[in-house]
């Protein structure tokens, strides 16, 4: 039977991170971990740890309790209390050094947990090409085939699992952003959420995966090398002996079967990468399309149908939410004005336009018909061309940026005139299309915020590419 995590760690290990002071414990655990960085091990003098924690608690005078009875407000008492709690829950222990000083030492099982917390907080991006290039380099290095299992196969297996895990993480990250895009958002919130998504995902992890870190670049070579290993009996024998030594396996046939299974799994994983990437592509397109369409709908104004429906629904929902009265009394205070009732057929009272019935008779002859004049034909063509010019296509957006930049090499987003909601939507598309290599521009983002057309947007510069 495989081990359970609580066969290794204390049953109270996660207690500090689930208590009412969980934020304090999360901060202090990282402070203790950082205090070990200058040391040669995960151990440091207890007085140093107390001093670090006292500096943290000096900024807050609130009293806290470690036993739900006695409350302390002194920063030293707080620091000692935190150390005692983390020790009792299995995060740290005491160790006496040769000079008789007491050191605080992290348990080995606490280190990967803390490192995972740091990665979650920092939201570090993965260089996919870096992982694949490591796999490719080890498979291409002929000097490593003297000990293929220890020097090649173990690393290839670990990096392949890491690659798949990071791609799934990207997939889940896009889904998390999609789930945050709720119907309760107004236009400014949708725009803010969109730009945050584009900054964290669209222009970073996703774009690199599709361009510089394209996974398909090394895939063919990696699969060819794996197949060559599987066909070479001498290499497979050496790999089996390496497996037997590392895994303490006495049977050579079992060891060889395990090595073959590992290599086959790696090869299968690289074939399945397309399915994962396709799902990521679909979710990315869905998020972009949904965000833009909802923003356009909420930004619609004037006499168009979308703007009218949007305002009507907003007004009705606001009235319903702020009143506890009967909905009919809110919407229709005078029952004699009109009534709403369900219909299963089209009647003269229906709001739907009635279809026109036409009776077709035998045609005796074909008339010459009215032929469009050349002038009218040209008018229709020009109307169609104007419609195409007004579309937010990549080509039109690129041309707009080229025109507005003129001879300049760089302009700010605030240099783009915003006189209508349409101008604001165009800025969104400038950001969306910025990663396309066919464009004549690129953008550089920043953490600043600017106001354009009454909406707060992330500031960025547009540069000629």
142 and 76, same structural domain?
no
Domain residue limits at 416: 392-464
Average pLDDT of the residues of the chain = 77
0.75 surpassed by pTM: no
289 and 172, same structural domain?
yes
177 and 50, same structural domain?
no
Higher pLDDT, 395 or 311: 395
- The band of 337, judged by pLDDT with boundaries at 50, 70 and 90, is very low
Q: Is the pLDDT of residue 114 over 70?
A: yes
**336 within domain boundaries:** no
**CATH assignment of the domain containing 67:** 1.10.10.10
Residue 191's pLDDT is: 65
**320 within domain boundaries:** no
199 and 290, same structural domain?
yes
pLDDT digits (tens, 9 = 90+) for 65-106: 888 788 888 899 999 999 999 999 999 888 887 777 888 888
- The band of 450, judged by pLDDT with boundaries at 50, 70 and 90, is confident
Strand, helix or coil for residue 75 = helix
131 and 241, same structural domain?
yes
292 and 150, same structural domain?
yes
173 and 57, same structural domain?
no
196 and 106, same structural domain?
no
**349 within domain boundaries:** no
Residue 338's pLDDT is: 47
Q: Please state which of the ranges 126-130, 155-159, 290-294, 347-351 shows the lowest mean pLDDT.
A: 347-351
Cα of 72 vs its chain's centroid, Å: 41
Q: What mean pLDDT is predicted for residues 134-142? A: 88
169 and 110, same structural domain?
no
User: Final residue of a domain: which of 119, 144, 171?
Assistant: 119
291 and 142, same structural domain?
yes
Quote the CA–CA distance of 293 and 362 in Å, as a whole number: 48
Q: Please state which of the ranges 23-37, 47-61, 213-227 shows the lowest mean pLDDT.
A: 213-227
User: Final residue of a domain: which of 268, 299, 330?
Assistant: 299
Q: Is the pLDDT of residue 344 over 70?
A: no
**385 within domain boundaries:** no
For 270, phi and psi rounded to 5 degrees?
-70, -30
Q: What mean pLDDT is predicted for residues 323-333? A: 50
Q: What is the per-residue burial (b if ≥16 Cβ within 10 Å, else e) of 343-369?
A: eeeeeeeeeeeeeeeeeeeeeeeeeee
131 and 58, same structural domain?
no
239 and 131, same structural domain?
yes
Count the domains in the chain: 3
Hunting for tokens 């990549």 — which residue is that? 394
Quote the CA–CA distance of 81 and 91 in Å, as a whole number: 14
């Amino acid at each position: 039977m495989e081990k359970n995590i609580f066969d290794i760690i204390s049953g109270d290990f996660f207690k500090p991170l689930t208590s009412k002071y969980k934020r304090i414990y999360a901060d202090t655990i990282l402070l203790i971990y950082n205090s070990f960085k200058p040391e040669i091990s995960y151990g440091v003098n207890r007085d140093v740890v107390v001093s670090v924690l006292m500096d943290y608690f000096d900024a807050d005078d609130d009293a806290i309790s470690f036993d739900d009875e006695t409350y302390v407000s002194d920063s030293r008492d707080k620091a000692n209390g935190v150390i005692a709690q983390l020790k009792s829950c299995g995060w740290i222990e005491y160790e006496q050094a040769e000079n008789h000083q007491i050191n605080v030492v992290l348990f080995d099982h606490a280190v990967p947990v803390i490192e995972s917390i740091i990665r979650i907080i920092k939201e570090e991006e993965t260089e996919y090409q870096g992982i694949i290039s490591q796999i490719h380099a080890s498979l291409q290095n002929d000097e490593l085939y003297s000990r293929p299992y220890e020097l090649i196969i173990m690393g290839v297996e670990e990096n392949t699992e890491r690659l798949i895990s990071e791609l799934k993480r990207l997939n889940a990250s896009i889904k998390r952003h999609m789930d945050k895009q709720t119907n309760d958002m107004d236009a400014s919130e949708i725009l803010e959420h969109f730009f945050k998504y584009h900054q964290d995902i669209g222009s970073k992890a996703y774009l690199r995966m599709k361009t510089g870190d394209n996974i398909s670049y090394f895939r063919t070579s990696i699969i060819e090398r794996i197949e060559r290993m599987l066909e070479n009996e001498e290499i497979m024998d050496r790999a089996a002996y390496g497996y037997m030594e590392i895994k303490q396996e006495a049977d050579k046939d079992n060891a060889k079967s395990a090595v073959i299974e590992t290599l086959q799994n790696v090869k299968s994983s690289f074939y399945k990468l397309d399915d994962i990437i396709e799902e990521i592509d679909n979710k990315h397109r869905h998020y972009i399309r949904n965000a833009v369409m909802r923003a356009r709908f909420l930004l619609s104004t004037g006499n168009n149908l979308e703007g009218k429906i949007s305002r009507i629904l907003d007004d009705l929902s606001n009235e319903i939410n702020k009143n506890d009265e009967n909905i009919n009394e809110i919407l229709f205070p005078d029952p004699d004005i009109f009534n709403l009732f369900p219909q299963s057929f089209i009647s003269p009272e229906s709001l739907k336009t009635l279809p026109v019935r036409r009776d077709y008779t035998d045609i005796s002859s074909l008339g010459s018909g009215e032929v469009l004049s050349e002038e009218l034909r040209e008018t229709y063509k020009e109307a169609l061309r104007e419609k195409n010019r007004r579309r937010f296509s990549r080509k039109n957006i690129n041309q707009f940026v080229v025109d507005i930049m003129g001879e300049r090499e760089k302009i700010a987003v605030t240099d783009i005139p915003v006189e209508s909601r349409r101008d604001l939507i165009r800025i969104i598309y400038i950001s969306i299309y910025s990663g396309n290599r066919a464009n004549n521009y690129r953008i550089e983002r920043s953490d600043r915020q600017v106001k354009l057309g009454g909406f707060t947007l992330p500031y960025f510069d547009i540069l000629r590419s």
